[in-house]
Structure 1
Amino acid sequence: MPRHGRGCIFSRNRDPGVPRNLCVDPQHERRLMCGLTGLLRSSPRDDIIGQVARMTALLVHRGPDDEGVWSEGQIGLGHRRLAILDLSATGAQPMHSDCGRYVLAYNGEIYNHLDLRHVLEIEDAAPPWRGQSDTETLLAAIEHWGLDDALCRVHGMFAIALWDRSKQRLSLARDRMGEKPLYWGWAGKDLVFGSELKALRAHPDCSREVCRQALAQYLRFMYVPAPRSIHPGIYKLEPGTILTVDGAPPAEAPKEPIRPGEHHASLSIRRYWDLNAEIEAGAYNLIQDESEAVSTLGQVLGKAVQRQMISDVPLGAFLSGGVDSSAIVSLMQAQSARPVQTFTIGFDEAAFDESPHAAAVAQHLGTDHTKLRVTDADARELIPDLPQLYDEPFADSSQIPTHLVCRAARQHVTVALSGDGGDELFGGYNRYIRGPGLWQQLSQIPRPIRRLVGQAAQALPEHGWNKVGTAYNRIRTGGAGISDLGTKVHRLGERLRLTDSLDDLYRNMASTWIEPEMLIVGDVTEPSSQLDDPMPEFGAGDPALRMMAQDMRSYLPDDILCKVDRAAMGISLETRSPFLDPEVIALAMRLPMGMKIRNGQGKWVLRQVLYQHVPREIIDRPKVGFAIPIGLWLRGPLRDWAEDLLSHKRLAEDGLFNPDIIRQTWSEHLSGNWDWSARLWTILMFQAWHAAQAHA
């Protein structure tokens, strides 16, 4: 079979006009990561290449360095490239395998690709290498080991579209934890796919309607959890899975999303990696010796950091001064011959400003540290661009500081390492630390009394609870205090009336609107999500581990990693997460909970590794989220903007929301007696996104 074949069209276009430094003009931001697109039809048509080109053009911000479009028969693939490894033309995509059988469009980084090349050479399976790109390595691995085995050997983040010309088979795959996004679904009778929804919407037959079931999930979680998207018939491929289509795509979309292990005509989805299996394997092989655990974690995490520091472009790291980012930066600096470039942002409000802590860590480690001072006005100016940046309703308000710190980093580097995943793997969130004990106490109380307890918790205003929290933190040493106690107590009090189990408690603690279907016009039943999937048969008996596993299934990929991907890729910055290296994940599952949560404090074993590089007095303090004062802004400078989006007329005119509940919530927030900023932000972000779509 010839390497490229007849009917193959390539289009390459470097964009020299895209600046290497940050471009803050929104018009330029939309022109500025890697991204892939494509479509599969039941029969060949002449307009495939043009349609794929139009889809690919909308992802130029993900890849300003290069563009490629290819089609053959009924399949078309498109790619935008942000060159990180192998900046030459030999790394361009879509790329053909040496034998000519496979064509690949791929978004991500394979950190161990040089090791894989070495193994392929030892096994006499290496082709004549044309360049140094990890894309070429991945193709050779797939050709030799097969897709599933190749992905299991990979250490990296990726979304791929692979066309097997011999079997006429399309395969879509996503990395283990969902660092890189991949949407797929139907546009008329075409199966379309891509890194962002905007690329799919470029197809004239792609639905722009709102899926009300997905809307209910969004109102609960602040994001739309996989496998759904905000549009009917368009889905997110779940992490750790492979979707295959043999021959022609199904003529119609299924009534419900296809889950791993299911099929729909010629389409099927399977897992190549399973979190449940990882948890069980770790539980069968626990590390009991504390010294061994600390030593092994230092070695394994250090190797993961080393792998992710490979880059042909400038590289740095985010540094908040917390445990996770400080651990990553300390291991980077220990392996670097020159100061690591680190970045943080500071706010005028002391309660939200962690930049002094970051500066202290940076000074101790000797990094080349950059702090960007951000004013309220700087943060608020970003809000109108959020619908375009996130492309789907998304209401985690830390999206704003996340994008701002990405802006700061992009002025100096093209790749930045982060501490994402440390909380979920090593027990960092307060719900893991206090949730199980709280439920053990509450479960002894009859439900009617629990409801009274919840009401009593809400009777004291939030500022009153915050005073209690301040006093408590003064007597708690070692960073085991609680920040923003008032909001947390009020949220817990509200959730107690619907809690009958620890799993209920977790779900309610993860919820923004407790009964989201009440807000939506019509008969809407909130669908199940990955949180309803079975837990491992062995190893998930610990209540804190159950919560951590649930977060790894949904909150981590669909909120945290989505937030970082869009915030960074919107300005052509690649982010990497060493905690999500498969060896680090496997090791974390082997650590007993007592090595993660101890004496009311999370991440014990990770802290021991960090203390070898940074004194504990610099690190230990109550955990603070990456937050901004949204509640205050909504009562002040953002009030007019919010009032317009939350007006009774505007809420009612689209026929999606029941305005009365939202208006009541808005009124209570404006009174200052309640902080409903999280709930209101979900509505505001949806309304802003919906308005942007109407004018797109």
Structure 2
Amino acid sequence: MCGIVGFIDFKKQSSEKILNACTDELIHRGPDGRGIAFFNREEGQVALGHRRLSIIDLSEAAGQPMEYNGLWIVFNGEIYNYKEIKKELVQAGHQFKAHSDTEVILHAWQQWGAAMLSKFIGMFAFVIYDTHTGSLFCCRDRAGVKPFFYYWKNDLFLFSSELKGMMKHPAFEKEIDQDALSAYMQFGYVPTPHCIFENCYKLKPGHYLQMDIKTRSFTMQQYWNVYDAYNKPVLEIGFDEAVAETEKLLTHAFQYRMVSDVPVGVFLSGGYDSSCVTAILQKNNSEKIKTFTIGVPDAGLNEAPYAKEIARHLGTDHTEYYCTQKEALEIVPDLPFYYDEPFADSSAIPTTLVSRVARKQVTVALSADAGDEIFAGYNRYDYMMRYGKKMAQLPASIRKLAAATMDKIPADKVPILRKKYEFHTRYEKVKSFLKNNSEKNILVSLTRHMTDEEIHKLFKNKVKKIETAFDSSELGEKRFTILDYIMAVDYQTYLVDDILQKVDRAGMSVSLEGREPFLDHRIIEWAAQLPSHFKYDKGKKKIILKEIVHKYIPQQIMDRPKMGFGIPLQHWLTQELKPFVDELFDDKYIEAQGIFNNAEIQRLRNSFYNGRVERVEKIWFILMFQMWYERWMK
């Protein structure tokens, strides 16, 4: 894993000094080396910067930017099957100087062009500059494991692995996109392709962007679409055969993620996904796999004993670390630097902690994310399947009457229930369901933390709803089951913008490469074609994955209530973090900032501190933005 950055300045007002500053802003992503390439063309300046974290081929010959036959590349990620592709290229007459996957990409580009992407198994974000044609090819992997931001304004095109790399350029204009900010307040992240800044975007997963320097124009192309996988015919296969074939595919994909010239470990939480990764890898490795977990003193939130038992059963080289509340709290002020776009998932804190523990022993860590999105593991899937259908079947007359009644009785006027956790937001969501009972609306309502009504009250000026993957027309145009649709949408939203962003930034904060073994496109395509009842059936989730895990770990060890690493936000915000709230929610601060409706901010704050616990997530979301604003906008 590395950090990449670069630009095309058509006004020719940049310099190597600026490129160096942008590159070194990403030193945490690549402390092992750096490189730049600066070109003066008739049309403008082209610049490429790279910070290296050495993983495959540790020699200087694998350094970047790398050149081959007039092609230059900066690359972040791994192509796991690069040796097989290299063999094919050698047979076609190509000769190689080094042993890295970076060099393979350059030769593959010359041989096949963009068609090479169909051959790649891996995680990647890279840019190829062709000095002959005057073009820039920017690409992001199918799942969006590797980040890629770009900016286009005033004849300046910038790109970077993180926003901070672009913000270092003096011509980058930090204008907050308040429509994107409103989406952050609903989801806890800014949905792709949007960004917190105007004229700044995230390249969508499974897409590439091609810039023609001579005409100053670019085109966007999708080369892989998760919906295509779900559009294929359902496999006619028995359950036992499906289990065997799924395990075979998982084994191959997981072993690819062990390809490295530096030590590799696994995050083991004790849940089904991480246990699956660990069990399959340990079975196929003679040496003990290094596993890592974080523990907390609170027994009700502590999964470390379960992870330890699973590690003992599988025979891994296990490390557990019990963190204190003080250690967790100390990370909070650093979050706006690690996450240089507003981000509100509090599990970033334990993810950062376990990354720090792992980095003392390994340079690469496997994280078992996406099992829920691929094999149907989230509780909201159960809710959609059980209650979403019932809501959809309600007669229109009953829905209309119920919604009208709720319009007349505000949530704050409902006796007894109004003090329940998140009651106001839940009340508004139910009302939204009644007014629009489409599967899309129900899914969005289950995912967001603030309703549209709450958002409009929160902002000083009117904000517009931005288009996201939630607005896809796929459900109406193609034949999906509801389960397939919600998994595909989660794959394009929550997975890429929350889970993968969280793991990438947490790992990179300590120069640890994170790999995602479940996010092999062959697994995604295979699982999409499995009969739905192999994944979810009458409240049972991840059926086929659990069947595989039970071959290695007794069911009585695995079956227990899911806990996760709990962050005591309610306590923190009323105690240790209250000084931050007092400062950043202050009347004068909010008025000077000019973004939020001050009266609503004060109402939320007063409501929270007067014991209305349903406000805790809203306060946290706002606080995380305010801390980000203080770090990057002042």
TM range (shorter): over 0.9
Residue from 106, 120, 140 that aligns with 2:89: 120
Distance 1:454 1:312 in 2: 61
8 Å contact 1:321–1:355 — kept in the other structure? yes
- Match of 2:493, SS state, is helix
Q: Does the alignment pair 1:512 with 2:449?
A: yes
Amino acid at match of 1:345: I
- Who is 2:231 aligned against? 280
Residue from 325, 328, 335 that aligns with 1:386: 335
8 Å contact 2:475–2:485 — kept in the other structure? no
Tell me: CA distance 1:540–1:403, structure 2 relative to 1, closer, same or farther (3 Å).
farther
Tell me: CA distance 1:509–1:72, structure 2 relative to 1, closer, same or farther (3 Å).
same
Q: Structure 1, residues 196-249: CA drift from partner, whole Å, max 9, x if none?
A: 111111111101121111111111111111111111011111111111111247
Deviates more, 1:175-184 or 1:629-638: 629-638
Question: Cα offset for 1:502?
Answer: 2.0
RMSD: 2.2
- Who is 2:46 aligned against? 75
Q: Does the alignment pair 1:328 with 2:277?
A: yes
Distance 2:425 2:483 in 1: 19
Tell me: CA distance 1:454–1:522, structure 2 relative to 1, closer, same or farther (3 Å).
closer
Q: Does the alignment pair 1:561 with 2:482?
A: no
- Who is 1:214 aligned against? 180
Question: Cα offset for 1:673?
Answer: 3.8
Residue from 483, 490, 510 that aligns with 1:544: 483
Q: Does the alignment pair 1:495 with 2:429?
A: yes
Tell me: CA distance 1:249–1:196, structure 2 relative to 1, closer, same or farther (3 Å).
farther
Write out aligned runs for 1:208-607 (5 A). 208-248=174-214, 250=216, 266-281=217-232, 284-443=233-392, 444=394, 445-449=398-402, 492-499=426-433, 500=436, 501-515=438-452, 516-535=455-474, 540-607=479-546
Distance 2:413 2:482 in 1: 24
Amino acid at match of 1:326: S
Tell me: CA distance 1:243–1:457, structure 2 relative to 1, closer, same or farther (3 Å).
farther
Amino acid at match of 1:610: V
Q: Structure 1, residues 266-295: CA drift from partner, whole Å, max 9, x if none?
A: 1111111111212212xx142431011111
Question: Cα offset for 1:543?
Answer: 1.4
Distance 1:364 1:670 in 2: 46
Q: Does the alignment pair 1:630 with 2:572?
A: no
8 Å contact 1:280–1:536 — kept in the other structure? no
- Who is 2:120 aligned against? 154
8 Å contact 1:352–1:628 — kept in the other structure? no
Q: Structure 1, residues 490-537: CA drift from partner, whole Å, max 9, x if none?
A: 754441111222211110111112122331111221221122122167
| Alignment: residue pair count | 618
Q: Give % identity.
A: 37
Question: Cα offset for 1:625?
Answer: 4.0
Question: Cα offset for 1:101?
Answer: 2.9
Tell me: CA distance 1:286–1:243, structure 2 relative to 1, closer, same or farther (3 Å).
same
Distance 2:234 2:282 in 1: 32
Question: Cα offset for 1:651?
Answer: 1.8
Question: Cα offset for 1:657?
Answer: 0.4
Residue from 17, 39, 48 that aligns with 1:50: 17
8 Å contact 2:32–2:52 — kept in the other structure? yes
Question: Cα offset for 1:680?
Answer: 1.2
- Match of 1:602, SS state, is coil
Question: Cα offset for 1:665?
Answer: 2.1
Question: Cα offset for 1:459?
Answer: 6.0
Tell me: CA distance 1:447–1:545, structure 2 relative to 1, closer, same or farther (3 Å).
farther
Question: Cα offset for 1:462?
Answer: 9.8
Question: Cα offset for 1:567?
Answer: 0.5
Amino acid at match of 1:92: G
Distance 1:506 1:140 in 2: 44
Distance 1:462 1:587 in 2: 46
Amino acid at match of 1:39: F
Distance 2:257 2:160 in 1: 25
Question: Cα offset for 1:182?
Answer: 0.6
8 Å contact 1:103–1:163 — kept in the other structure? yes
8 Å contact 2:78–2:123 — kept in the other structure? yes
Distance 1:410 1:67 in 2: 21
Q: Does the alignment pair 1:34 with 2:5?
A: no
- Match of 1:78, SS state, is strand
Residue from 658, 661, 667 that aligns with 2:600: 661
- Match of 1:342, SS state, is strand
Question: Cα offset for 1:128?
Answer: 2.1
Deviates more, 1:189-198 or 1:530-539: 530-539
Question: Cα offset for 1:171?
Answer: 1.0
Tell me: CA distance 1:539–1:595, structure 2 relative to 1, closer, same or farther (3 Å).
farther
Q: TM-score, normalised by structure 1?
A: 0.85
Distance 2:633 2:294 in 1: 34
Deviates more, 1:679-688 or 1:598-607: 598-607
8 Å contact 1:37–1:195 — kept in the other structure? yes
Distance 1:508 1:457 in 2: 22
Distance 1:554 1:526 in 2: 16
8 Å contact 1:317–1:343 — kept in the other structure? yes
Question: Cα offset for 1:418?
Answer: 1.0
Q: TM-score, normalised by structure 2?
A: 0.93
- Who is 1:25 aligned against? none
Amino acid at match of 2:127: A
Residue from 129, 133, 146 that aligns with 2:100: 133
- Match of 2:147, SS state, is coil
Contiguous gaps of at least 5 residues in structure 1: 1-32, 251-265, 465-485
Q: Structure 1, residues 170-197: CA drift from partner, whole Å, max 9, x if none?
A: 1111000100111111354211111111
Q: Structure 1, residues 373-402: CA drift from partner, whole Å, max 9, x if none?
A: 111111111111011111111111111111
Question: Cα offset for 1:672?
Answer: 3.0
